[in-house]
Amino acid sequence: MPDDAAFSLPLACPTALPGDAAGRVLGWQPNPASGAYAALDLGTNNCRLLLGTPTYGSGPAGFRVIDSFSRIVRLGEGLGATGRLSEQAMDRALSALRSCARKLERRPVRAMQAVATEACRRAENGPAFLARVEAETGLRLRIISAREEAELAMESCAPLLEAGDRRALLFDIGGGSTEIAWIRILPGGRVPELIGTISVPVGVVTLSERCGPSCFTEAGFHAVVDEVADKLRGFDAVHCIGQEIRAGGVRLMGTSGTVTTLAGVAMALPRYRRLLVDGQVLESCVADQALGDLFALGRAGLAAHPCVGPERVDFVLPGCAVYAAIRQVWPVPRLTVADRGLREGILLRLMRLDRAAQRRPGRGFWPGCG
């Protein structure tokens, strides 16, 4: 985890008022008088924006959501075959990012972090695309490492830990990769310590493109499970995770559309509701049954299911195969479901670092723009 002094906030610094003759959005300026913070995450499948204000009580600091945006953009479509972001995918992502920029113009924020993950990490033209994003929207996105991605997910999920937890195994099944974090729980409510991470280059988009139709067959589904499990066993051996699980006190936590969908099915929700799902603890056998129910639905049934829908029908079973591999390698008896992740981690870190900066006389929170 980077220390407070090392953490920087890449802030867009527009040189003109929002909007120009070409209709471009020229970004935003930080407003220190605002109490709001913003986090933008451009992933392989989704573009998401979250704005929140801090809440302080007797427990860990949190935030209240004041606005959000989420759109499936499929930025990583075709990336596995070409190694490049396609023009159509970049256009979809730019359209979503323009919408985010307009929201930020309407809602002044004190600080923002805008990040890009696996698709831009892998793509040969990822940096060039982000330069185009800045030129056309004023938003400066930073490509983060898989480790930082895991750190931010860890920070967002830390409030779900409970007394008696010694370790946590956190997984995030993304569009282009799956991030696994092995975490040591520290006393006194301190931010947990990241012991180790692994980024497995399989996600719901990459698997859907490579072997999506076969995931609807039993043989194809189990082939993906075995492939992913093989990639995880080396990480397990290095950190003796299985041994720690047998000793007790290890919490398995999942943050992704896959696990929240499993929770929605297990809870028989008539429609997905984040407040009911976030923090839900499922017995592993219940999550396994939900996975079996999803598999049995087939394509048409998944498209009609209120917790899935037609936009996500191709991604659910590949994600379930990754989850099943995690369960195979690490048979923890319960799963904590987190409908939170990278954006929430960014907001919590921004707020934490801002509070720390305000307590240090003579130290400003705002880095120079440029």
- Report domain extents, the chain: 1-144, 160-342
Confidence at residue 61, expressed as pLDDT on a 0 to 100 scale: 63
Pairing of strands 37-42, 111-116: parallel
Same fold, 1-144 and 160-342: yes
Confidence at residue 220, expressed as pLDDT on a 0 to 100 scale: 96
Confidence at residue 121, expressed as pLDDT on a 0 to 100 scale: 94
- Cβ-Cβ contacts under 8 Å for 65 (sequence gap 6 or more): 50, 51, 52
Q: Report the pLDDT averaged over residues 207-234.
A: 94
* pLDDT > 70 fraction of the chain, expressed in percent and rounded: 88
pLDDT tens-place string over residues 148-171 = 998 999 989 988 999 899 999 999
Confidence at residue 361, expressed as pLDDT on a 0 to 100 scale: 63
pLDDT tens-place string over residues 184-205 = 998 877 778 999 999 999 999 9
| Top CATH class, 160-342 | alpha beta
- Position 125 pLDDT exceeds 80: yes
- Position 264 pLDDT exceeds 90: yes
Please compute, for residue 128, the number of CA atoms within 13 A of its CA located in the half-sphere on the CB side: 8
pLDDT confidence tier of residue 23, bands split at 50, 70 and 90 = very low
pLDDT confidence tier of residue 34, bands split at 50, 70 and 90 = confident
- Backbone phi, then psi, for 63, in 5-degree steps? -150, 160
Confidence at residue 216, expressed as pLDDT on a 0 to 100 scale: 94
Confidence at residue 277, expressed as pLDDT on a 0 to 100 scale: 95
Confidence at residue 19, expressed as pLDDT on a 0 to 100 scale: 41
Confidence at residue 57, expressed as pLDDT on a 0 to 100 scale: 58
Confidence at residue 353, expressed as pLDDT on a 0 to 100 scale: 87
- Cβ-Cβ contacts under 8 Å for 107 (sequence gap 6 or more): 36, 38, 51, 66, 67
- Position 24 pLDDT exceeds 50: no
Q: Which residue has the tokens 């984040």?
A: 274
pLDDT tens-place string over residues 288-331 = 999 999 999 999 999 999 999 998 999 999 999 999 999 999 99
Confidence at residue 356, expressed as pLDDT on a 0 to 100 scale: 81
* Residue 8 backbone zone (phi > 0: left; psi -120 to 50: alpha; other: beta): beta
* Residue 200 backbone zone (phi > 0: left; psi -120 to 50: alpha; other: beta): beta
CATH number for region 1-144: 3.30.420.40
For residues 60 and 202, which has the higher predicted lDDT (pLDDT)? 202
Q: Report the pLDDT averaged over residues 69-76.
A: 94
